[in-house]
Amino acid sequence: MTLPFSVHDAAAVDSHIGRRIREERIKRGMSQSELAQRIGITYQQAHKYERGVNRTSASRLLQIASILEVEISELLPSSRVVHTPVPLGRQELELVRNFVRIGSEQRRQLVCQLVRTLAQDTEEA
């Protein structure tokens, strides 16, 4: 069996898992405090999990995946990716969360057009 990372990359895996937990939590509009409370840990411990400072045990990861309503595999690195190329910040994650809540396909297209236009204006400035 080939692992998608070497033993020396364990910290990178912990960071990846923490980043994925954070992304999924923010997508659901859940605070770190709320996640911590539902798990039964302190806010500080949840913060350390998300930063990858503390390793998340398998049982804790299963609990977190259940609370976030995702498959545990969605929090783990795949055999192809250990690092997320561009870490998403709070604004990006909130944008995604709100975008998927737009029910109308026509309105989604308008939002995409607006964002493209704003991005082009920024490049031209």
Cα distance from N-terminal residue to C-terminal residue, the chain:
51
- Residue 70, pLDDT score: 95
The CB density around residue 18, as the number of other CB atoms within 10 Å, is: 22
Q: Do residue 73 and residue 38 come from a single domain?
A: yes
Q: Do residue 119 and residue 66 come from a single domain?
A: no
Range of the domain at 52: 8-78
44 within a domain of the structure (yes/no): yes
How many domains does the chain divide into? 2
Q: Do residue 104 and residue 45 come from a single domain?
A: no
The answer to pTM > 0.75 is: no
d(CA 115, CA 84): 23
Q: Which amino acid would we find at residue 103?
A: G
d(CA 99, CA 80): 28
- Output the domain CATH number for residue 40: 1.10.260.40
Q: Do residue 61 and residue 102 come from a single domain?
A: no
83 within a domain of the structure (yes/no): no
CA of 7: how far to CAs of 12, 13, 113, in Å? 10, 10, 44
Q: What does the pLDDT look like over 48-76, one tens digit per residue?
A: 999 989 999 999 999 999 999 999 999 99
